[in-house]
Amino acid sequence: MTAPVGRAPFRAIRVVHRLDERIRFRYETDAPLDPVAVVRAVENLQGVLSARLNTAARSLTISFTVGKTDGEHLRKALLRLDLAGSAPLHDGIHRHDSLLGMAGSGVLLVGQALIPAALMMPATLAAALPVFSGAVADLRDQGVTSHVLEALAVAISAARRDFTAANTTSFMLALGEYLEQSISRRSDELLRELLRPDTGEVWIESDGQERQIASDAVEVGMTVIASAGMTVPVDGTVLGGEAVLNETAMTGESQPVTRRRGDRVLSGTLVEEGRLRIYAEHVGRHTATARIADYVEHSLAAKSQSQLGAARLADRLVPAVLGLATTTWLFSGDWQRAAAVLQADYSCALKLATPVAFKAGMHRAGTRGILFKGGDVVERLSEADTFVFDKTGTLTTGQLAVTDAIAFDPHYSPNDIIDLAASVEEHYFHPLALAVVEAARAHHGRHFDHKEVEFIAAHGVASVIDGQRVVVGSRHFVEEDEGISTSRHRRRLQALFRQGKTLLYIGYGSRLLGIIALKDQLRPTARATLERLRTLGVKRLVMLTGDHHDRAAELAQELGIDEYHAELLPQQKAALVAHMKSEGARIAFVGDGINDAPALAGAHVGIAMQKGADIARLTADVALLEDGIERVADAKALALATMQRIDSNFKLTITANTGILAAAAFGKLSPIASSVAHNGSTIAILLNALRSA
């Protein structure tokens, strides 16, 4: 008994028209296609930009990126296309057929005492028609499968006029198939519910009026309004207004940026201050933030090596079961024993329990803020023995905090420097300003009365205190724009810079009054996470960073990291990952920035932090949905637990079905008992696989 497996939608496909970046195919198919499922599956293929299916003309038009794929690669990929995880329409049809078959065979089984003897044979064969039709289709397309064995068992019982056995078998097969499909569907739904589309509302401008509409009603060309505190809901171009945006989630850049007319903005970025009118260019599932949701759909059809191995073993065991049934009949001459043997096989539990366990484990991970992009990723992460970490934004928070305050005037203390800077920056929502204000609040600093604050974009702020101009900002701002020299203190400033610190310069009355040094902070749970990874079997912990050697060495010692490499360029990170792989290490790389994308792609498993750049999250195999490094250890633990569940289910399947086959071959089980035992154990194994959710 097996649930329907995903089959390629196209029997044959050929090119009918070709341009540089677009190609049109004509296809042949054996069954009606669900256009939504096909288009989604095609758009998940490497290099594909968009797809359009014309079922009436049986044509498929694909736009693609030259260099990432071509016509021949696409043709081969389409012939292998699997809609198992993205065809809800057909899944519904199969469930409907299973339900009808179960109802028909169930009614016949219960009411067979009321049916005239002359009608029992045609009624039994009619009830078993779904079993026979499935067997014929499998025999034609795949050879001898478990469906063929099941049909033989029903046919033998019917031929012996054992209608109770035949009808019971038909009913159990339909019931088992329906329950298996339901369990498999449930595991899919568990995953899909993790990334349900936003059901909130969006402000738009129409005919000079502003109004709210549902987020899924936003269309390309609309003017969308994004104000302070809101997340930009679309990808587009700024039509008007000015705002400071936090783009950390999309670019990995911790410094907010100013966006004004003509600038591009991405969905998922946060408006910290200001207001924008945005022309919507990409909406809904086409926005940058929505693209990651497509990985959930792709993961439903992705197959791991464990799943493929189980499926291959199940296929190899089908002829063995057929041979056992034949041998049993030859030695015993008892067709009933042969029919009982044919009721039991390994195929269903082996083929279904593994993907169900993967999907259930992936759902459990999702509820803990971890997105696995496929069962194969779970398997690879469970095998990873070397974890390689980027530093900034991964082992550290990516958020600055004040570490030093230095006054160059003896009349001012370090706290005075912090308080003065905080007084003029308290109305500014830049990360540097927020860190300084927080430092002043921590020591209950005093407030300096000042005139109106002037904001100079990308430079700093300026005001007047006691008749003197005060400026707070970058070296470029105070030295080049304000004419305040920093040369007398250059050696001290360079020492702070070599420690990986960001410097904020404070000028007062045309002189350098002091500086404030800020530094990215270590995540509080970083050390505990690394220690937990070791308990989970990780043998080697490595840190790669573009930071200075001194800072990298200090951090590596503080965290107990085995080795580190500093002052690296992005391509050097990727080269080091490749070198470690060549030495036999199975690497999980954890990063967050655009510069981490090559290393993420080159590792056995790439893990992207929640606030990572969009390209990092798209490149990675695992995307963290919460900003906590402890989720990395959670992901490793969940991967190990899922693989342990799969291993135990595999052993249980082999043990249970071998016992049923042996009992049937020695005449200890009737066809009915064999069917009940086999189907019951299969459902139990599938429920055990789903239990990991």
Residues with a catalytic annotation lie at: 390
Residue reference for tokens 């490497």:
46
Both structure tokens of 224 = 């969308």
State in Å, rounded, how far the first CA of the chain is from the last one: 24
Residue reference for tokens 């009614």:
107
Q: Where are the alpha helices (DSSP H) in 406-489?
A: 414-425, 431-442, 475
Helix (H) or strand (E) holding 288: helix 288-291
Both structure tokens of 626 = 């919460």
Beta bridge partners of 508: 470, 511
List CB contacts of 412: < 8 A, sequence separation 6 or more: 420, 513, 514
Any idea what the Cα angle at residue 139 is, between residues 138 and 143, rounded to 5°?
Answer: 100
How many C-beta atoms surround the C-beta of residue 446 within 10 A?
A: 12
Are 604 and 380 within 8 A, CB to CB? yes
Q: What 3-state DSSP class applies to 268?
A: coil
List CB contacts of 397: < 8 A, sequence separation 6 or more: 520, 521, 522, 523
Are 174 and 101 within 8 A, CB to CB? yes
Are 161 and 173 within 8 A, CB to CB? no
How many C-beta atoms surround the C-beta of residue 187 within 10 A?
A: 24
List CB contacts of 360: < 8 A, sequence separation 6 or more: 187, 190, 642, 689, 690, 691, 692, 693
Both structure tokens of 165 = 């056995």
Closest-CA residue to 254 (of 592, 649, 583, 690) = 592
List CB contacts of 647: < 8 A, sequence separation 6 or more: none
Closest-CA residue to 224 (of 175, 271, 168) = 271
Angle between helical axes of 117-127 and 88-111 (0-180°, round to 10): 160
How many C-beta atoms surround the C-beta of residue 663 within 10 A?
A: 17
List CB contacts of 191: < 8 A, sequence separation 6 or more: 296, 299, 300, 359, 362, 363, 366
d(CA 194, CA 390): 27
187 Cα distance to chain centroid? 15
CA distances from 33 to 42, 534, 552 (A): 13, 49, 56
Residue reference for tokens 């899944």:
91
Any idea what the Cα angle at residue 273 is, between residues 272 and 276, rounded to 5°?
Answer: 105
Are 560 and 543 within 8 A, CB to CB? no
d(CA 171, CA 99): 10
